[in-house]
Amino acid sequence: MQENIFPIKHTLLQQLDKEKLNGHKGIVLWMFGLSGSGKTTIARALENELYSKGIHTKLLDGDNLRAGITNNLTFSIEDRVENIRRASEVSKLFMENGNVVICSLVSPTKDIRKQAQEIIGKGFREVFVNAPFEVCAERDVKGLYKKALAGEIKNFTGLDSPFEGSENPFIELRTHEKDLETCKNELLEIVLKEIQL
Ligand code: ADP
């Protein structure tokens, strides 16, 4: 905490007040996985479904954040940590406002995700969007794998920058084994239970 900064707490409406207004709890679904594993695709499908059920959501996508609030950051380890710190703080704000926050960020290491969990607190739910490197490289949605394998991109996750899976995520979605609809529905079912007041 910086000197001479005094955050107000006591006069603010609390998360529970916002949750009561919205009719459901606020949580953060922290979707992580390799580029091309399916985070954005599932996040969008889930958000549409939740929206149609009257649930308040906010989708935070790593690429979109990198176009704005984190646009001064690189893909070095230090900057990845800062990237996650800012995304976590923003997620927390939306969660405290009673939203189901769907965060879609590579967040490649256990340490990085631990940092997110520590910032966000008890509303944090880790969603491992899991597909093997070879499958993601085959999909190559953004053409990044081709460039990375040709040496044109440095610090590429899963290649010359580490990626660690999770042994005990809140939920794991194996997108090379189940189709989008199945993955989305599995997540939806568990989220609807989690956000009940
Ligand atoms: P990421 O956001 O993780 O980088 P994207 O969602 O942009 O990944 O891309 C994932 C790609 O994989 C899309 O082309 C999508 O159609 C495809 N895909 C195949 N199976 C699935 C699945 N079960 N869930 C999500 N995406 C899938």
Residue 52 is among the residues annotated as catalytic for this protein: no
C-beta separation of 197 from 19 below 8 A = yes
Q: Is there an atom of ligand 1 within 6 Å of 36 CB?
A: yes
Measured CA to CA, the distance from residue 24 to residue 93 in angstroms comes to 16
What pLDDT is recorded for position 39?
Answer: 97
Element holding 71 (H helix, E strand) = none
Q: What is the pLDDT of residues 87-114, one digit of tens each?
A: 999 999 999 999 999 999 999 999 999 9
Model pTM score: 0.93
| Paired tokens of 102 | 């769907």
What pLDDT is recorded for position 10?
Answer: 64
List Cα–Cα distances, 37 to 27, 98, 129, in angstroms.
Answer: 22, 28, 6
Ligand 1 centre and the CA of 38: distance in Å?
3
Helix (H, G, I), strand (E, B) or coil at 171: strand
Ligand 1 centre and the CA of 144: distance in Å?
14
Neighbours of 167 (CB within 10 A): 8
Residues of the chain with pLDDT under 50: none
What pLDDT is recorded for position 12?
Answer: 73
Of the residues 35, 37, 104, 107, only one is catalytic, namely 107
Measured CA to CA, the distance from residue 13 to residue 109 in angstroms comes to 35
Residue 15 burial class via C-beta count within 10 angstroms: exposed 0-12, middle 13-18, buried 19 and up: middle
Q: Which of 41, 49, 61, 185 to mutate to test the pocket of ligand 1 (most atoms within 8 A of CB)?
A: 41
What pLDDT is recorded for position 11?
Answer: 66
Strand-pairing partners, residue 31, are 104, 127
Q: For the chain, which domains are there? A: 18-194 (3.40.50.300)
Task: Look at residues 94, 166, 99 and name the one whose alpha carbon lies nearest to residue 129.
Answer: 166
Helix (H, G, I), strand (E, B) or coil at 127: strand
Q: Is there an atom of ligand 1 within 6 Å of 130 CB?
A: no
Among protein residues, the one with the nearest Cα to ligand 1's atom 13 is: 38
| Residue entry with tokens 């599932």 | 42
Ligand 1 centre and the CA of 19: distance in Å?
31
What pLDDT is recorded for position 75?
Answer: 83
Q: Which of 106, 141, 185 to mutate to test the pocket of ligand 1 (most atoms within 8 A of CB)?
A: 141
Backbone angles phi, psi at 5, to 5 degrees: -115, 125
Ligand 1 centre and the CA of 69: distance in Å?
24
Helices (H), the chain: 15-22, 39-52, 62-66, 77-96, 110-120, 133-139, 144-149, 180-194
